[in-house]
């Protein structure tokens, strides 16, 4: 499967938040999302079905946290179950979703580049064996760690690789990387597409998106949160309505963003609203 072929029909719609939906479906907060594939596979599949019904064309498997540092010997089983849940829901295009390890790379932390590469390689090999169509590496803030994930994907598969990073209020990642530095690092690593996800809402990400569009000719994926989080009773909530979210992302499609979806706080309602606005583009 070539990414360019998927983009022939206009903007490509990805799904939205998984953690938000696991909570909505009653999965206990103490259940790691990767473990949910083994403990609640039908719930995971039902969430995928909701996103497909909303119009999503690419389903991200519930593998964001499915790495050996979190799951140990259950890694392969959790990844396989995640891909099976997406396929059982009817997904034709399934992405292996790879998130950060959760540990900082040296010198800021104790995790070496080589060890990170090993962790990502195990996840990539499990996803490839389960039959994913592409690899989505997302929510990274450290250029070195995301390069380790990309290297693992490139070494062990020939699948298209999309890599997105997350930025703070001042347009930099937690480690201080600018959009220009992110684009340079991701292009040098050989990804087929790049972009930004999570972070804040569409308004806060707009300057980052504008910079990336000006700096690269690669396809851009944008998956913002549903606005800025508001904490009520100790719980993060997102107040951007589906229509508001869809309006802002449809405007990004007009600017040249070719792949769109949602992250924290987004639901099938947000994706359905966006799908409706993208139909004629």
pLDDT tens string 52-103:
999 999 999 999 999 999 999 999 999 999 999 999 999 999 999 999 999 9
For the chain, give the percent of residues with pLDDT over 90: 86
Q: Are 39 and 31 in contact (CB under 8 A)?
A: yes
Mean pLDDT of 114-120: 98
Per-residue confidence at 281, pLDDT binned at 50, 70, 90?
low
- 73 Rama sector, left if φ>0, alpha if ψ -120 to 50, beta otherwise: alpha
Residue count of the chain: 281
Count CB atoms within 10 A of the CB of residue 5.
9
Res 242 pLDDT > 90: yes
Separation CA 266–CA 104 (nearest Å): 27
Per-residue confidence at 166, pLDDT binned at 50, 70, 90?
very high
Separation CA 123–CA 117 (nearest Å): 10
pLDDT at residue 228, as a whole number: 82
Q: Residue 26 phi/psi, 5° resolution?
A: 90, 15
Q: Residue 93 phi/psi, 5° resolution?
A: -120, 115
Per-residue confidence at 170, pLDDT binned at 50, 70, 90?
confident
For the chain, give the percent of residues with pLDDT over 70: 99
3-state class (DSSP) for residue 186: helix
210: exposed, middle or buried (Cβ count in 10 Å: 0-12, 13-18, 19+):
middle
Res 267 pLDDT > 90: yes
Alpha carbon separation from 168 to 118, 182, 260 (Å, rounded): 28, 13, 20
Q: What is the pLDDT of residues 128-156, one digit of tens each?
A: 999 999 999 999 999 999 999 999 999 99
pLDDT at residue 68, as a whole number: 96
| Higher per-residue confidence, 105 vs 121 | 121
Separation CA 8–CA 100 (nearest Å): 31
Q: Are 15 and 46 in contact (CB under 8 A)?
A: no
Count CB atoms within 10 A of the CB of residue 155.
12
Res 236 pLDDT > 80: no
Sequence-distant (≥ 6) Cβ neighbours of residue 74 within 8 angstroms: 34, 35, 38
Alpha carbon separation from 157 to 9, 88, 137 (Å, rounded): 26, 23, 14
Mean pLDDT of 222-226: 97
Q: What is the mean pLDDT of the chain?
A: 95
Res 29 pLDDT > 90: no
**Which residues face 97 on adjacent strands?**
136
Mean pLDDT of 201-216: 96
| pTM (two decimals) | 0.96
Sequence-distant (≥ 6) Cβ neighbours of residue 135 within 8 angstroms: 95, 96, 98, 124, 127, 153, 157, 159, 160, 161, 162
């Amino acid at each position: 499967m070539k990414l360019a072929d998927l983009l022939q029909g206009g903007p490509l719609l990805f799904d939205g938040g998984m953690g938000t939906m696991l909570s909505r479906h009653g999965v206990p907060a103490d259940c790691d999302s990767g473990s949910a594939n083994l403990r609640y596979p039908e719930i995971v599949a039902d969430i995928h079905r909701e996103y497909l019904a909303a119009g999503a064309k690419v389903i991200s498997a519930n593998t964001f946290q499915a790495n050996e540092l979190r799951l140990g010997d259950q890694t392969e089983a959790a990844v396989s179950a995640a891909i099976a849940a997406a396929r059982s829901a009817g997904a034709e295009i399934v992405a292996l979703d790879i998130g950060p390890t959760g540990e900082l790379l040296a010198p800021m932390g104790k995790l070496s580049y080589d060890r990170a590469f090993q962790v990502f390689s195990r996840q990539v090999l499990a996803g490839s064996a389960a039959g994913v169509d592409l690899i989505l590496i997302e929510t990274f803030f450290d250029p070195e760690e995301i390069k380790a994930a990309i290297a693992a994907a490139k070494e062990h598969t020939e699948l298209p690789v999309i890599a997105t990073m997350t930025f703070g209020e001042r347009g930099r990642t937690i480690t201080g990387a600018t959009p220009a530095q992110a684009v340079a690092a991701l292009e040098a690593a050989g990804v087929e597409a790049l972009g930004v996800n999570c972070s804040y809402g569409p308004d806060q990400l707009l300057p980052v998106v504008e910079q990336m569009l000006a700096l690269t000719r690669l396809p851009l994926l944008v998956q913002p949160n549903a606005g800025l989080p508001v904490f009520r009773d100790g719980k993060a909530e997102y107040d951007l309505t589906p229509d508001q979210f869809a309006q802002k992302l449809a405007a990004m499609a007009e600017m040249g963003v070719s792949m769109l979806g949602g992250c924290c706080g987004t639901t099938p309602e947000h994706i359905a609203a966006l799908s409706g606005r993208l139909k004629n583009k």
